[in-house]
Amino acid sequence: MATEVVHTIAGLRAALAGQHRTAFVPTMGNLHEGHLSLVREARLRGGPVVASIFVNRLQFLPHEDFDRYPRTLARDVELLESAGCDLVFAPDEAELYPEPQAYKVQPPAALADILEGEFRPGFFTGVCTVVLKLFQCVQPAVAVFGQKDYQQLKVITAMARQFALPTEVVGAPTVRAEDGLALSSRNGYLGAAERTEAVALAAALRQLADGARDPGASLPALEQQAAEVLRARGWAPDYLTLRRRSDLLPPGEAERLGTEPLVALGAARLGATRLIDNLEC
């Protein structure tokens, strides 16, 4: 059965009338295997499976790549159909934001103004606002997000909990290429030499994670060493850091050396392309 494509909220609601176990995968399009793995996970969680394709202006800073972000709707629909998606919601800006979006979701600074939020101010306000609006449009029982965007998953999970949304937020594992690079739509910006070099970010995070429980090393030294490794290879790191999984705050020394679940997170520019990754430890 062919995947249905709708472009309006009214059309979406008509297509989903009477459904109570809808599973949802929000995307910005330019899809890859990582997105398709989310669709397959959604299929296991309920049905029908809905994917949205919408490049959300609210989460881009003025100097970022909103205008050049690839729009590949026809290809994306073919890929989604192959993964078992039933319905694609692909609104334009005028449909989703028919008037200036004056009401916005402001996530707590302790979670949203660190890491990505420090280097991309307002990013998570844009993310939360569009996700809440998409949830209102789709009314899903479950929504699946990738763990590659680790902080985003934490922010959205907390938003759903605090607003008592009737949507279960599920995190799905990061999908990697054979050489270990986390799949990302922005990998397409990399030149051939940059694509070969890009695996160094995951390697630096592995080094940081491997040293996480070392009593002979200090956390600042571990983080600095990981960043210096990338700088020496021509990268411009924003952060490489070890955090508690629970709240993304720095672990105390006893937590770092004990059994506290931790995660190594990193963001760095390689040429003109900014990549992010993480590794639980």
Report residue 1's pLDDT band, with 50, 70 and 90 as the boundaries.
Answer: low
At 106, is the pLDDT very low, low, confident or very high (cuts 50, 70, 90)? very high
Rounded mean pLDDT of 23-35? 97
Please state the φ and ψ torsions of residue 124, each to the nearest 5 degrees.
Answer: -75, -20
Percent of the chain with pLDDT over 90: 95
Residue 264 pLDDT > 80, yes or no? yes
Average pLDDT, the chain: 96
* 174 contacts: CB under 8 Å, gap ≥ 6: 34, 146, 147, 148, 182, 183, 277, 278
Per-residue pLDDT tens over the stretch 137-165: 999 999 999 999 999 999 999 999 999 99
Residue pair 130/56 in contact (Cβ under 8 Å)? The answer is yes
Q: For residue range 205-242, list pLDDT tens digits in order.
A: 999 999 999 999 999 999 999 999 999 999 999 999 99
pLDDT tens digits, one per residue of 160-206: 999 999 999 999 999 999 999 999 999 999 999 999 999 999 999 99
Query: Where in the sequence numbering do the catalytic residues fall?
Result: 35
